[in-house]
Amino acid sequence: MKQFELSTNTSVVADPMTDALANGNNYLTNQACIDLLKESERLRLEAYEGPGMAEPWLIGYGHKTTARLGMTITESEAELLLKNDLVRVESAIQRLVTVDLNNNQFSALACFAYNMGTGNFATSTLLKNLN
């Protein structure tokens, strides 16, 4: 699997969507959800503090896993981080949701889980009511 090196020594998968399909993920988040995430998260190429978070640093389109104070990235690196984050979200949805979904429903859940985090999604009332 080819990887790129970010300016902060953080590796990201070069093509996470292809990897997701190869690993048996049946759904991919649709473009409407991706566009909504990009619009609501707004691209930021320098790490910034998220409101009221235990680990406050975010970068790109709301990426937090590897964001650190002083980190900077390019727009293409932000795209890769978003795709990697969505692959993790998609995997969590497939693992946690026990009912059939169409792609729009799956994508709506992806937007929701992306914003609240997969841990919070796993214990959410939405998920309990859905299943």
Structure token pair of residue 4:
């790129």
Q: Distance between CA 131 and CA 102 in Å, rounded? A: 14
Q: Residue 50: its pLDDT value, please?
A: 84
CATH of domain 3-130: 1.10.530.40
Alpha-carbon distance values, 65 to 68, 117, 129 (Å): 9, 11, 28
Q: List residues with catalytic annotation.
A: 41
Give 51's pLDDT tier (boundaries 50, 70, 90). Answer: confident
Question: What average pLDDT does this structure show over 42-47?
Answer: 96
Structure token pair of residue 45:
């190429």
Q: What is the DSSP letter of 40?
A: H
Q: Residue 12: its pLDDT value, please?
A: 46
**8 Å CB contact between 48 and 58:** yes
Which of 91, 81, 87 lies closest to 17, judged by CA? 87
Structure token pair of residue 61:
């389109």
Q: Residue 54: its pLDDT value, please?
A: 66
